[in-house]
Structures are given as structure tokens and as C-alpha cells.
């Protein structure tokens, strides 16, 4: 199959490289000259484990290339995927579909022969209808089918998620489109990847509903963690106890500083707006957003209390800045309100992240960036673990204590055991566990 991937962001680049690895001929298209030039030089604009090698291998094999010229890429394609950004629209929280609609018009002008146009971007219900309308308006003679194929990729594990998916959702009522998409995903039949065919609007809603439900699980366990701290229970054991119930499941029951990233905050806000537009308020999802925003802001107060309600003039070391490990993504990362809150209360902040510091400098310019965890901890009054990078799971606690001015650790990811920290002489504060401090 010949595939054109419109957009070389996270979804487009990962999807394009994986499709090429399946044996398809993929051309990734982007309007950004500098990004395409960098990709042609083998420079990957995002951090994703394994992606650089996967791109290089498929470029070398002649299955993957990059261009700014959409016309020949679309004209030769059997399938065209729209994988452009749908950020929250400033002011109202709706998904900004301007990039999707611009791509649809550009695609329409370049279509030749029967082509399936697939939205892989996360889009509100009914977007596929508008994409089809725009294509037919721009090119009335086009032989085209428009489908929805939402992505379910976790940053840091995207390649494995693509090649070993829980499910592949295809939204279309066109039999020709089903055959094309079935052929595209046929290599996954060896991994027994389940393909679910459904209506286009249903596929669009599945993506939003999935993210909102996972965000709800995270927020639920975070509120249980707050209660656990008050009553002397251990939220990790609570999560294990309820997660063993197959109806609930263990995933996304890890208490922490709140969810962030490119998907959950944006998609839950968009889902609330979609529902309100249809006069169907989603009270649970609205509450999830409110609780999560409040939680992220509250993390600075947790550090404040750990330091005896005094932050002015104190030095706080922050380990981990990205919203999760194995990515350089800073979008809506809990570290941002945490650090901002610490600065507002008069603290001096030093930080280290294995791969995210260059991205973080755009969001947090007024802090000191360090070369490693121990340099970050030197002479600090408190250390805060924000992102559970594997590098932070095996710190030399003796050395860490020697570097610090005060042996105070606020562990927002429950990386360490309270008894272990006590043995090393730390005043240890974690999430939802007894014996704080």
C-alpha cells in the first residue's frame, strides 16, 4: 500500500514509521520546511524510545520519506492519514480543527483515483462528516471515502503500542475503505491485533471516551490517596486490592500529582464542550478536570508543609519535569504548576530531567537546570520527585543525604519505601501513605 501521512508530529511520525516497518510505502508530509529538512537529515524532533532507529531503518530501505510537497504524495496514495494537531482552542476549550480542515482542503485538491482519507488526529464527533463535505466541495469529482482511525499510543511506549495494540478502531460504512484499512493493518494479524469496525461517529467518540475514563481512574485514586493520608491507610495497597478485581483492573491506579500530557487534559476538556453543545452535561468528567487542576496546584503546598510552612529563601531540588518518563513532552506537566507555586512562595528551584530540560526551559525559564540528580540535590533544603524516571528509582540515598542541606524528600510518585527512607535518616513525605515525615 502507498500511504501519505499528513503531519509529522508525535502521532504522524510514529504511525508513519510503523506503517513503513509493516512494508508499506509511506510519505510523511509537513508544511514546516525546517522540520522536514531535519527529518531528511535523520534528526528526530521528539524523544520516543526506538523511534530514531526505526525511522533510519525504513528510510534506508526506501519505504519512508519526508516532503513538504503534498500533491505527489497524495496523488499516488491509496490511503491518506490526517495526523495534524488538534490543540485546545484558546478561550473555550474546544478542539481547534483548523489544521484538520486545512489538510482536508489540500488533500482534496491533490486526489487522483479512489483514495481513503482517514482522520487519525483526535477529533470531535462529526468531524469526519465535515472533512468529507470539504473534500467534496473542493473536488466534486473525487472518488473518496472518509474514515476514522483514532490512535491509542502511550508516549514512551508508542512503537510497542502500535505493533501490539489492544484494539484497532476503524470507523467507516464504506466497504472499499474497510478493505483498504484491513490491508494496511493486515501485518498485525500475526500479533492477533483485534480490529473493530464501527460507524465513523462512534469511532470518534470511542477515543474521547477512553481518555476520559482513564483520566477518571487517575483522579479517583488521587482522591482516595488524600483520604488514605488522613486515616492512616496505604493507597498503594488500596489500589492493589481494588485492582485485583477484574471489573476494575490495576492500570491507571497510581496515585500522584495529577495527570498531564498532550491527550488527557485536552481531550477531557473537549469532550465536556462537545457534550455541552449537545445539551448533555458530563458532570463526572467536569469534576475530574476540576479535581486534577486543583491537585496539581496543591503539590507546592505539600512541599511547603514538609518544610515547616516556610519556603521563602529555601532551595528546592526537583527531579523530573516531563509529564511522564520516557518522553520530552512538557505539555500540561504537573511540574509546571508545582515549580510556579514554589517560586511564588519565595523558594529557589533547581531541577534535573534526563531528556526534558530543553523543552522545560520554554515553560520554566526562571530556575536553575543541573547536570544530574546529585548536582540538583546539592545544598537543597528539600528534594521533590515529580516524574518517575527509572534513573530516580535507584539513587544512592547515602550520597543524596550528604549532598542535601536538609534531608527532606517529597516523593510525589511513591518511588521509595517509607521504611527505607527512614533508615537513611530522611524526613519522607509521599502520596497517600501513613507515617508522613
Q: What does DSSP assign to residue 89?
A: P
Segment 102-112, tens digit of pLDDT: 999 999 999 99
**pLDDT value at residue 57:** 98
Given this chain, do its domains 2-198 and 227-429 carry the same CATH topology? yes
Reduced to 3 states, what is the DSSP secondary structure of residue 72?
Answer: helix
Given a cut of 80, is residue 192 above it in pLDDT? no
Q: Indicate whether 426 pLDDT > 80.
A: yes
Using DSSP, state whether 4 is helix, strand or coil. Answer: strand
| Segment 398-409, tens digit of pLDDT | 999 999 999 999
Q: What is the pLDDT of residue 92?
A: 80
pLDDT digits (tens, 9 = 90+) for 226-254: 999 999 999 999 999 999 999 999 999 99
Q: Where are the domains of the chain?
A: 2-198, 227-429
The x, y and z cell numbers of residue 277, run together, are 453543545
pTM reported for the whole predicted model: 0.92
Q: Which residues, in sequence order, are bridge partners of residue 117?
A: 80, 146
DSSP codes joined into one string, 213-239: HHHHHHHHHHHHHHHHHHHT--HHHHH
- Percent of the chain residues topping a pLDDT of 90: 96
The whole-number pLDDT of residue 62 equals 97
Q: For the segment 158-184, what is each residue's pLDDT rounded down to a tens digit? A: 999 999 999 999 999 999 999 999 999
Per DSSP bridges, beta strands 315-319 and 195-198 are: unpaired
What homologous superfamily does CATH list for 2-198?
A: NAD(P)-binding Rossmann-like Domain (3.40.50.720)
Catalytic residue among 28, 263, 370, 376: 263
In what helix (H) or strand (E) does residue 403 lie, and over which residues does it extend?
Answer: helix 397-403
Q: What is the pLDDT of residues 318-348, one digit of tens each?
A: 999 999 999 999 999 999 999 999 999 999 9
Query: What mean pLDDT is reported for the chain?
Result: 96
Length of the chain: 437
Query: What does the pLDDT look like over 87-98, one tens digit per residue?
Result: 988 878 889 999
pLDDT at 340: 97
Which fold is adopted by the domain 227-429?
Rossmann fold (3.40.50)
pLDDT at 434: 86
**Do the beta carbons of residue 51 and residue 159 sit within 8 Å?**
yes
Q: Answer yes or no: 263 catalytic.
A: yes
Work out the pLDDT band at 435, boundaries 50, 70, 90: low
pLDDT over 70 (residue 436)? no
Question: pLDDT at position 91, please?
Answer: 74
Amino acid at each position: 500500500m502507498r500511504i501519505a501521512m499528513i503531519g509529522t508530529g508525535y502521532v504522524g511520525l510514529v504511525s508513519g514509521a510503523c506503517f513503513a516497518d509493516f512494508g508499506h510505502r509511506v510519505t510523511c508530509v509537513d508544511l514546516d520546511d525546517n522540520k522536514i529538512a531535519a527529518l531528511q537529515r535523520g534528526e528526530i524532533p521528539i524523544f520516543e524510545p526506538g523511534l530514531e532507529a526505526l525511522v533510519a531503518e525504513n528510510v534506508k530501505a526506501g519505504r519512508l520519506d519526508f516532503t513538504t510537497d503534498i500533491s505527489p504524495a497524495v496523488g499516488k496514495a491509496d490511503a491518506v492519514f490526517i495526523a495534524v494537531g488538534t490543540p485546545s482552542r484558546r478561550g473555550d476549550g474546544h478542539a481547534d480543527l483548523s489544521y484538520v480542515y486545512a489538510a482536508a482542503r489540500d488533500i482534496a485538491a491533490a486526489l487522483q483515483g479512489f483514495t481513503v482519507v482517514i482522520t487519525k488526529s483526535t477529533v470531535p464527533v462529526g468531524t469526519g462528516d465535515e472533512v468529507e463535505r470539504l473534500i467534496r466541495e473542493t473536488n466534486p469529482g473525487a472518488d473518496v471515502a472518509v474514515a476514522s482511525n483514532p490512535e491509542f499510543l502511550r508516549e514512551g511506549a508508542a512503537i510497542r503500542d502500535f505493533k501490539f495494540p489492544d484494539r484497532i478502531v476503524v470507523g467507516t460504512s464504506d466497504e472499499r475503505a474497510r478493505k483498504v484499512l484491513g490491508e494496511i493493518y493486515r501485518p498485525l494479524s500475526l500479533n492477533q491485533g483485534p480490529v473493530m469496525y464501527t460507524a465513523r461517529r462512534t469511532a470518534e467518540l470511542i477515543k474521547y471516551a477512553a481518555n476520559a475514563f482513564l483520566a477518571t481512574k487517575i483522579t479517583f485514586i488521587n482522591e482516595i490517596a488524600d483520604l488514605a493520608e488522613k486515616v492512616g491507610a496505604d493507597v498503594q495497597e488500596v489500589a492493589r486490592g481494588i485492582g485485583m478485581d477484574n471489573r476494575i483492573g490495576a492500570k491507571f491506579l497510581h496515585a500522584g500529582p495529577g495527570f498531564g500530557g498532550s491527550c488527557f487534559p485536552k481531550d477531557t476538556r473537549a469532550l465536556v464542550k462537545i457534550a455541552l453543545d449537545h445539551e448533555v452535561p458530563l458532570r463526572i468528567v467536569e469534576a475530574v478536570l476540576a479535581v486534577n487542576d486543583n491537585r496539581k496546584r496543591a503539590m507546592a503546598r505539600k512541599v511547603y508543609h514538609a518544610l515547616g510552612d516556610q519556603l521563602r529563601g529555601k532551595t528546592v531540588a526537583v527531579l523530573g519535569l516531563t509529564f511522564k518518563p520516557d518522553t520530552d513532552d512538557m505539555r500540561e506537566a504537573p511540574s509546571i504548576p508545582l515549580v510556579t507555586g514554589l517560586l511564588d512562595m519565595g523558594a529557589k528551584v533547581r531541577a534535573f530531567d534526563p531528556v526534558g530540560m530543553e523543552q522545560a526551559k520554554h515553560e520554566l525559564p526562571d530556575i536553575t537546570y543541573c547536570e544530574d540528580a546529585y548536582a540538583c540535590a546539592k545544598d537543597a533544603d528539600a528534594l521533590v520527585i515529580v516524574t518517575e524516571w527509572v534513573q530516580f528509582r535507584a539513587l544512592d540515598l547515602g550520597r543524596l543525604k550528604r549532598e542535601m542541606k536538609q534531608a527532606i524528600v517529597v516523593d510525589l510518585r511513591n518511588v521509595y519505601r517509607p521504611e527505607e527512607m527512614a533508615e537513611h535518616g530522611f524526613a519522607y513525605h509521599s502520596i497517600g501513605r501513613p507515617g508522613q515525615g
